Amino acid sequence: MSKITYDAKDIQVLEGLDAVRLRPGMYIGTTGQNGLHHILWEIVDNAVDEAANGFCDKIEITLHQDGSVTVSDNGRGIPTDIHPQLGVSGVEVVFTQLHAGGKFNSDNYSYSGGLHGVGASVTNALSRWLEITVCRNGKEYFQRFESNPSQDGKKIESGIPTGPLKEVGKSAKHGTTVTFLADDRVFTHGVMMNRVTIEKRVKELAFLNKGIHFVVTDERVLDEPTHEFKYDGGLVDFVKDMNSNKVIIHQKVMTYYAKNETLEMEFAFQYTNGYSENLVSYVNNIPTPEGGTHETGWKTAMTRVFNEYARSKNLLKAKDDNLLGEDFREGITAVLSIKMKNVQFEGQTKSKLGNIEAKTACEALGQEGFSKVLSESVKDAETIIKKSIASAKVREAARKAKEVTRQKNSIFNSTLVGKLASCTGRDAKANELFIVEGDSAGGSAKQCRNRRFQAILPLKGKPLNAERKRIDQVLANEEIRSIISALDTSIGEDFNIDDLKYDKIIILSDADQDGAHIRAILLTFFYRYMKELITQGHVYIGMPPLYRISKRDKVAYAYDDEELASLVEQFGRGYELQRYKGLGEMNPSQLWDTTMNPETRTLMRVTLDDVSSTEKIVSDLMGDQVDPRKEYIIQHADFNRDVDKTFDEFN
């Protein structure tokens, strides 16, 4: 239980704020859009931690016209009294000391997402200015910080107080309000934050923190500037939202909450008629797209309990083998959320939980939870078990098919004969695989590539859409088998990233609707059966140009209409313009210069920042339901052509 008193003496100081400005990437990952939003999340996470520990029930985020952002909560308010060691207010300590906060012990926060303790100070360091208002103990306090050039002009002095924390009035309110303007000297691509990005994360936080009221207001727009998020159903509402456009096979969302001396655990799940597993997990509100020990324990418990239940109901006979975990998880949509102290993530990205004790705790609580929910929903439980048994039969058929093809040396050898142009280098960390649309473009790519580190795999036609097919059908597709063979990692439960032959897997398709569809199909396959390729940053999209503009001996390429307009202005009259309808129209030297040369090409790395949103987009665009796909295309796509015709091609 968190203690009620919370004073400046509770804030522990580890070190100062010196290095943030010099190397911002060490603290926020990038100075692009992800890093820009990261400094917002550091402030929002502090408010969410207040909510998660029972001290706050409303959080407001406001985007202002000038690019500044305000985050306000009705929590306890940051301590305003004087810190015993530093001699300044607790507010100033939090915003000027890198590792300072009340979260390094569990007296004030039982659970916290901001485990590195760098949040508010990093936001301050990377802002032009930051203002904070604290309402606490019947009083209102204010302080402003600025980042300005030093007197000698050689550096920027970051997050310097313009004065001490001041009492500015009386207030019956309680909470903290922070307004900051990200520094365009750091974020050189712009400081305007994306409302859609913010609302996706806020919606996720609202699901994970049952009953907390989030308000997002964008003063930059006139139409519906304010959106509110509040879900009294918590994870149950989360699962319903993810399954909103899927065909479910039982109505009730099964849910369970419990805690022991190690952690609190809550989960909810519901089955669809699909073939893929959709499990999203969180630790202290932080997404863990790469899973970890909590997922391992939860899955182990599920497999054991479901097998025992199936035998107790005589759905599995004595002669039958136990089902595997993947059988029970086919078609599941599940959210697992745990809260625990002293969290240890693997890597700075916090994407995988490493605490060994979490596995044991989740396995124990999971066994209790699964036993309870199955016993309370006998009819639904029988439906789930029967679906799992059917899944096991398909898996076994697929296994036998793979064994046969292996014996014939087809899946791992002959499918690549005459298709894959492998590279000569044996250093997987340096090698690249281009998956190229069509034989024509594949032929050009083979001619112009650097054979030492670039391999080419042309595809004939469109591969199978893995979202709509069973695993045995996926494996029967020749193009999919070629990809599996080339990567050498296997798929699904057998996937092993250590066997990956290439550091970069680059999808190279035409810049038209068919090319976009092929990219979507390939990304769906990787997401469903080789997700770790995406989470570890191995998947890229090649960006071929749309136009070639030339005038005498001057040649340039444009990747969109805006860039073309700029080049036309530069070239003046008398230029020649070529519009590329496909990769096959480029000769090998042009393809190398624009798309394959590491010195001049542009690649887009595929990332997985928001698992729940990604899951919904994949199921909407690639699943069986037609209406959500058409609705998404109408809302988001800009093909400069008839939407219905485009939809028909995509569908």
Q: Which residues are catalytic?
A: 437, 510, 512, 514
Helices (H) and strands (E) in the chain, counts: 20, 24
Task: Give CA–CA dist 545/189, Å, rounded.
Answer: 22
Q: Is 149 exposed, middle or buried (0-12, 13-18, 19+ CB in 10 A)?
A: exposed
How far, in Å, are 298, 608, 611, 619 from residue 242 at the CA level? 20, 16, 11, 9
Q: 163: burial class by Cβ within 10 Å (0-12, 13-18, 19+)?
A: exposed
CA dihedral 522, 526, 528, 530 (to 10 degrees): 160
Task: Report the DSSP pairing between strands 263-271 and 254-259.
Answer: antiparallel
CA distance 11 to 94: 8
The whole-angstrom separation of Cα 358 and Cα 345 is: 12
Helices (H), 7-89: 25-28, 33-52
User: Positive or negative, the Cα torsion across 25, 27, 30, 32?
Assistant: negative
Q: Could you please report the per-residue DSSP string of 305-350?
A: HHHHHHHHTTSS-TTSPPPPHHHHHTTEEEEEEEEESS--BSTTTT
Q: Residue ranges of the alpha helices (H) in 223-334?
A: 235-242, 293-312, 325-329
| DSSP assignments along 482-510, one per residue | HHHHHH----GGG--GGG-S-SEEEEE--
Which pair of structure tokens corresponds to residue 355? 């605490």
Of 68, 73, 75, whose CA–CA distance to 218 is shortest? 68
